[in-house]
C-alpha cells in the first residue's frame, strides 16, 4: 500500500488537533469561570438558537440576503478597506451589550460617539442596505440582522469563509458611550480578554480565532506607539517586538493618526499568516503578541500555525458564536428600527 494522501493525513490528525483545542478551552473556561464568579460579574446569555431562525425572513422579506450581498459587494468594490471595517463594526456592536445594533445609534453620548469608536467605519454601508430593505419590505428587518449579515458577506468578499446566519434579532433601545469603552483596544492582558469573552458566552478558542481577523485590515498607529517608543513607561520599545519589524513601525508610526496594516506579511489576504507572524514576534498589538506567549493560548496558536486550514474552518464557527451574543428578541426588549441611526419615536427614551 502506498503512502497516505495529504488529505487523508489531515483527516487522521484532525481528531488529535480538536482534542488539543478542546482541552485548552476546557482549562481556560474553568479558570475564567471561577475568576468571573469570584468577581461577581454577570452577563445574561440567551440561547440564541432557541429563537433565531435561518428562514426568519423567508416570507416577510425573501430578498433580504440578496440585498445585503449586492450592496456589500458594491461598497467593498469601491473601497476594499470597508470589508474588514464592517467585520470590526459588527464585533464592536456585539461586544458591548450584545448584537443589538446599539453601535449604530447616532446621538450625543452613544456608543458611536465614544472615543473608542472614533476609528469605526462602514456606517454608510449599513444605512444604504437598510434604505433598500425598507423599500422592499418596510418595518420587517432589524438593523442588528443587517449588520450581522453584512459582516458575513464582507468576510466572504475579503476572502474569508461563508456561514449561514440565523435571523430574528431586535434592535436595542439604549446606547451609552461608557459601555463602548469596555471593548478591548489592544492593551489588555490575556486574562482580561478571556474573561471578557467568557462573560459573553464565548470561549478561549473564539478569542484566538476572532483575533485572527487581524489577518486583514489596519489599525491606527496610536494603538501601537506605546510598544514602539515607551513600553510600560520605560522609554524603550517592547522587547517582544521583532527587531526589523520594530524599525519598520518606527518609520511608519511617527504620527498617531497614521495607519498601519495589522498583518505585516499578507495584509490584503484572508489567511492564517497572522499566527505565523506571532511566532516571529510580529504581532502588531500587544494583545496579538500575548496570544503567542501566554501558556493558555500559545498551544492554540501553535496548532493554527501548523494546520492553517483550521483557522478558516473555525472562523465561521466563532463568527456564528459572536453573532449570537446577547441577542434581543421580544418587543419589550427591542424593536425594528425604521432608521438604524435612531430609535423609533414611539420608543425614544
Active site residues: 92
Would the annotation count 235 as a binding residue?
A: no
Contacts of 226 (CB under 8 A, 6+ apart): 187
Please check if 145 is assigned to a binding site.
Answer: no
Between CA 15 and CA 58 the distance in angstroms is: 37
Query: Residue 192 annotated as binding?
Result: no
Residue 57 to residue 38: CA distance in whole angstroms: 42
- The Cα 90–Cα 77 span in angstroms is 19
102 is in an annotated binding site: yes
Q: Residue 93, annotated ligand binder? A: yes
Tell me whether residue 214 is annotated as binding: yes
How long, in residues, is the chain? 349
For 124, other C-beta atoms within 10 Å of its C-beta total 10
All cell numbers assigned to 146: 443587517
Check whether 79 is labelled as a binding-site residue.
Answer: no
Nearest to 261 by CA among 249, 276, 251: 249
Kindly state the greatest CA–CA separation across the chain. 73
84 among annotated binding-site residues:
no
- For every residue of 223-270, DSSP letters joined together read GTHHHHH-GGGSSS--TTS-HHHHHHHHHHTSSTTSEEES-SS-TTS-
10 Å CB burial of residue 89 (0-12, 13-18, 19+) is buried
> Is 263 annotated as ligand-binding?
yes
Annotated binding site for Ca(2+): 93, 96, 98, 100, 102, 111, 215, 263, 266, 271
Residues annotated in the binding site for heme b, as ranges?
214
Binding residues: 93, 96, 98, 100, 102, 111, 184, 214-215, 263, 266, 271
| Binding site feature residues for substrate | 184
Amino acid at each position: 500500500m502506498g503512502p497516505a494522501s495529504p488529505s487523508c493525513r489531515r483527516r487522521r490528525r484532525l481528531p488529535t488537533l480538536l482534542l488539543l483545542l478542546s482541552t485548552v478551552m476546557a482549562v481556560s473556561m474553568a479558570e475564567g469561570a471561577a475568576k468571573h464568579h469570584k468577581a461577581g460579574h454577570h452577563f445574561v446569555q440567551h440561547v440564541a438558537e432557541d429563537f433565531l431562525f435561518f428562514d426568519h425572513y423567508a416570507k416577510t422579506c425573501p430578498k433580504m440576503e440578496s440585498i445585503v450581498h449586492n450592496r456589500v459587494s458594491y461598497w467593498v468594490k469601491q473601497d476594499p478597506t470597508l470589508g474588514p471595517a464592517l467585520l470590526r463594526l459588527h464585533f464592536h456592536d456585539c461586544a458591548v451589550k450584545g448584537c443589538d445594533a446599539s453601535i449604530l445609534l447616532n446621538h450625543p453620548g452613544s456608543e458611536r460617539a465614544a472615543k473608542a469608536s472614533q476609528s469605526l467605519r462602514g456606517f454608510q454601508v449599513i444605512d444604504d442596505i437598510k434604505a433598500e430593505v425598507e423599500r422592499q419590505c418596510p418595518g420587517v428587518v432589524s438593523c442588528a440582522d443587517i449588520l450581522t449579515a453584512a459582516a458575513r458577506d464582507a468576510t466572504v468578499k475579503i476572502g474569508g469563509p461563508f456561514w449561514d446566519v440565523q435571523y430574528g434579532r431586535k434592535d436595542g433601545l439604549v446606547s451609552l458611550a461608557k459601555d463602548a469603552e469596555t471593548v478591548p483596544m489592544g492593551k489588555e492582558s490575556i486574562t482580561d480578554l478571556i474573561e471578557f469573552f467568557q462573560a459573553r458566552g464565548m470561549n478561549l478558542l473564539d478569542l484566538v480565532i476572532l483575533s485572527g481577523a487581524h489577518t486583514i485590515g489596519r489599525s491606527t498607529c496610536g494603538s501601537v506607539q506605546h510598544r514602539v517608543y515607551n513600553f510600560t513607561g520605560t522609554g524603550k520599545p517592547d522587547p517582544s517586538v521583532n527587531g526589523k519589524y520594530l524599525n519598520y513601525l518606527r518609520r511608519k508610526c511617527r504620527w498617531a493618526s497614521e495607519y498601519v496594516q495589522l498583518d505585516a506579511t499578507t495584509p490584503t489576504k484572508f489567511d492564517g499568516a497572522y499566527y505565523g507572524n506571532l511566532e516571529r514576534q510580529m504581532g502588531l498589538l500587544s494583545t496579538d503578541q500575548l496570544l503567542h506567549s501566554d501558556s493558555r493560548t500559545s498551544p492554540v496558536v501553535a496548532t493554527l500555525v501548523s494546520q492553517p486550514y483550521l483557522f478558516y474552518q473555525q472562523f465561521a464557527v466563532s463568527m456564528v458564536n459572536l453573532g449570537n451574543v446577547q441577542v434581543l428578541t421580544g418587543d419589550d426588549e427591542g424593536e425594528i428600527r425604521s432608521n438604524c441611526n435612531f430609535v423609533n419615536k414611539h420608543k425614544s427614551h
